[in-house]
Structure 1
Amino acid sequence: MFLPFDKLLNKLDGIAWMAPFHNADLVHAFNRVPIGERKYVISFESHLPRRFSIARDNAYTDWMTREISSRHCRRIIALSHYARNQFIDQTKDACTAEALKAKLLVRHPNVLMGPDVDPLAAELRDGRMDELVITFVGAHFARKGGCVAVKLAQKALEQNLPVRIQIVSSMTVGASVWTDPASEAFFKPYMDLLDLPNVTRFEGLPNGAVRQMLGRSHFGFLPTFSDTFGYSIIEAMAEHTPSIATPVQAIPEFVKDGLNGLMLPLDVDELGHWKQPVGVKHNENAYEDFFADEIEKLADHALAAIRPYIGAPEKLLPLRRAARLTAEKMFSPAVSAAFYDPFYDRVASENPSTDPKNDPLDVSSPTISDIEDQLA
């Protein structure tokens, strides 16, 4: 049990209070610094300490940095190499920067594997594929690439291409989403495309149904503008399905174009963040024009990327095999357990009065480049 302080005040998103008098030898926290814990490790998605509502350093942010620099915090575990790089950049001016890096490692999240046998393998081997089915999953419709999905559907329909787009989304758009144009009116033309005959929309599906849908799709679709990890991609991989994605943040760590998915070009900075026009606010027409142009370009790139696979089921089989193998080697519960079971024992036995640093066995998760030769 714990109390996330952001429920009391949004700016306190970076800390949590554990229930007192627990007898754990080691606490594994996630994203939020656990107040008062004698010995803990902490995993994080993108930023640590979390300070999304705090623009400038202050006594509170300095305290959070001191806390994760202390001997109480035995390891800092980034969920991706992107998160590791982001953390190093975020803490580069801290006087404890080197001590923080000494206990920093990368361990990817894990997902349950789907069925051992690819549900589409038999029909693809037999040459059966009436239409190319592409599934987009994401509550934040525009941020994650839903507008690109429906524009792709429109372009495919105009060219009489047998492409079906499936949308699983609650359709959240606008000012509440950090990437979106502020005006919801901007999105009406894209919402209207949901009525196209080659688009099917689903809302409120349980995760099991979504996973099954991904497994029956030829591609997942996540041409996202901002995503700390891209969980729908690894869930699709666990179901044998490659995804069409953008090189945002952590995604290039596990998707390689033409090997286990398709990568669409998008302009990103050295940390993997999408480049946006400087000084342009999201409620300005200039930002709407920029966003619409990015959608259009990604839809064109997506159409070009899928053309070789339309009516060519045999070309999908190697992608699907590599996607599933990627999931097994990088994200399976077995891989996670093999690392964490001895890791917890090892860290729990450390003397809390010693300076924490990575053990030689604290090995970071691989990237797709590290395992590429194992996916053939």
Structure 2
Amino acid sequence: MNRIGYIQNKYPEQRCIINKTKNNYVNLSRFNFARYAYYIDKLRGADFSNFQFIFIGIVPSSVKMMHFFNFITPQKKNWVTTFETSLPRCRELISIHHNPDYVDGIKRCPAVEKKLKWIASEHCKAIIALSQSAKKIQKNILNVYSEYKDTIENKIHVVAPPQKILISNNSKKELNETDEIRVLFVGGDFYRKGGAETVIALNNIVRKNNIKLSLTVIGDLARKNNYVLKEWKDDEGFYKKVSEIIEQEPWIVHHQSLSNYEVLNLMQQSHVGLLPTWSDTYGYSVLEMQASGCPVITTNVRALTEINNEHCGWVIKLPLNKYSELAIDSQEKKDSFRNTIISGIENAILELNSKRGLIQVKSTNSLDRIIAQHDPEDYKSQLEKIYDKCS
């Protein structure tokens, strides 16, 4: 049994690293000197600090290796890192995947090259992509830095996050003709995750159709910065319209936040979940809803088509760039994307209402998908094989 260092105790680390194998995991955050440089950058008003995802510090001799999430290091101690989009996570690369295809967003620069050398070094034993989508973005970066391409590509492993099953059976998901359809939206970053489109679409359905449904919204309405929209951001009138629907409609219940226990309980009680997101690196909530026997309506951005499909849920198909992202370069394109998301939600709910047996079928298929592709024991085995390379 080895001691394995990690940097943060946030949700991604809890999801993918800490205590996922039989080893002992040690928090090294207090030993990371780079984080102090990051805080100084933030105090100076920097939008993005290139010290944010770097570990430079003291590693106790008892720590055998390190496992990061999005972090990299020049330290001469064996390490691996799990990443959600690309490495290095730095100012020069942070938004390249949101560019339209006609924009060449990857250009050589010394800052990126310096950090790629760290990843190519003998001390970096593996980089673990959460998805095929992340691997694709990483490979496109390496195409520009061909001298590191083969070395780093050989270190890439795609390992989907683990997810345990959260219900013993899905008999309570059965939806009879007179039952109310219970819909759940979970997204702290309410507007980027598609919360507004969810509220508008379901309000349209309730007004136009004689359908009994309830919507529980868990999300922070104050988080209005949908970075995907760039300079075509929504105005206060739009936010006010969405807030008024939530406040006035009796079939909507809103929580700014709930404990993880309460959220999982709501997933187990709901018929269908929603993540009609404008951008998402993975979509952990989709895994949790599927593991609760709650099929999900999602968009097709990034890794979502790797974890959701028409067999186990509903997918809203949007025109994407080469990185499977939405690339907005006009007000017209933003409006078109929004209309597609709204109509996609409406079509899925209307189909579910007219074919109520679908909920049981897709619920069962969701559970089967989680068992087959996100088994915690399988994840543990894959991680231990990667760790063995560090011995």
TM-score of Structure 1 vs Structure 2, range by shorter chain: 0.7 to 0.9
**Residues of 2 paired with 1:83 and 1:172: CA distance?**
29
Q: What is the 5 A alignment of 1:54-69?
A: 57-69=108-120
What's the counterpart of residue 149 of structure 2?
A: 97
Residue 60 of structure 2 aligns to which amino acid in structure 1?
F
**For 1:246-285, what per-residue CA distance to the aligned partner results, in whole angstroms no more than 9, with x for missing partners?**
110001112111x1110012111122111312xx5xxxxx
2:286 is the alignment partner of 1:239: no
Segments of 5+ residues of structure 2 without an aligned counterpart are: 1-27, 42-48, 95-106
How far 1:188 moved relative to its partner? Answer: 1.7
Aligned to 2:313, which of 261, 272, 277?
261
The aligned counterpart of 1:132 is 181
| Structure 1 Cα separation of the partners of residues 93 and 152 of structure 2 | 21
2:82 pairs, out of 33, 43, 51, with 43
Q: Which residue of 2 aligns with 1:335?
A: 378
- Aligned residue number for residue 13 of structure 1: 52
Q: Quote how far apart the aligned CAs of 1:290 are.
A: 4.3
Question: 1:343 Cα deviation (Å)?
Answer: 3.2
CA distance in 1, matches of 2:131, 2:125: 19
Name the CA distance, whole Å, in 1 between partners of 2:346 and 2:225: 29
* Mapped partners of 1:100, 1:20: distance in 2: 24
- C-alpha separation in 1, matches of 2:383 and 2:297: 31
Give the aligned residue type for 1:100.
I
Q: Which residue of 2 aligns with 1:83?
A: 134
Alignment deviations for residues 111-155 of structure 1 (CA, whole Å, 9 cap, x no partner): 34312222624x44xx36522121111111121110111111211
Name the count of aligned residue pairs: 335
| Residue in structure 2 matching 1:319, options 357, 362, 366 | 362
Once the two structures are superposed, what CA deviation does each residue of 1:18-71 show, in whole Å capped at 9, x if it has no partner?
543242222212101034142111110102100146686543322111100111
8 A contact 2:229–2:334 mirrored in 1: no
Distance 1:343 1:97 in 2: 20
How big is the shift at 1:176? 6.8
* Identity between Structure 1 and Structure 2 (%): 21
Q: Cα 1:52–1:217, aligned 2, differ >3 Å: closer, same or farther? A: farther
Q: Distance in 2 between matches of 1:19 and 1:129?
A: 63
Q: Superposed, which structure 2 residues align to 1:267-346 within 5 Å?
A: 267-277=319-329, 280=330, 287=331, 290-310=333-353, 312-344=355-387, 346=388
The amino acid of 1:271's aligned partner reads: Y
For residue 34 of structure 1, the aligned residue among 50, 62, 73 is 73
Question: In structure 2, the residue corresponding to 1:77 is in which secondary structure?
Answer: strand
Distance, in Å, in 2 between the alignment partners of 1:197 and 1:296 is 25
Structure 1: gaps of 5 or more residues = 281-286, 350-376
C-alpha contact 1:179 1:226 (8 A) present in aligned 2: no
Q: CA deviation at 1:291?
A: 3.2
* 1:229 aligned residue: 282
- Over the aligned positions, Cα root-mean-square deviation in angstroms equals 2.2
Given that residues 76 and 104 in structure 1 are in contact (C-alpha distance below 8 angstroms), is that contact kept between their aligned partners in structure 2? yes
In 2, Cα distance between equivalents of 1:183 and 1:172: 13
Q: Give the drift of 1:178.
A: 4.3
Classify the secondary structure of the residue corresponding to 2:73. strand
- Conservation of the 8 A alpha-carbon contact between 2:228 and 2:326: no
Judging changes above 3 Å, is the alpha-carbon distance between structure 1 residues 305 and 115 closer, same or farther for their aligned structure 2 residues?
Answer: closer
Q: CA deviation at 1:237?
A: 0.9
Residues 235/37 of structure 1: CA separation in 2 closer, same or farther (3 Å cut): farther
TM-score (norm 2): 0.79
Identify if the C-alpha distance between structure 1 residues 110 and 184 changes in structure 2 by more than 3 Å, giving closer, same or farther.
Answer: farther
> 1:141 maps to which residue?
190
Cα distance change of structure 1 residues 332 and 129 upon mapping to structure 2, 3 Å threshold: farther
After TM superposition, the structure 1 stretch with the greater mean CA deviation from structure 2, 150-159 or 306-315, is: 306-315
Q: 1:237 to 1:37 in 2, by over 3 A?
A: farther
Structure 1 equivalent of residue 14 of structure 2: none
Candidates 161, 168, 185, aligned match of 1:116: 168
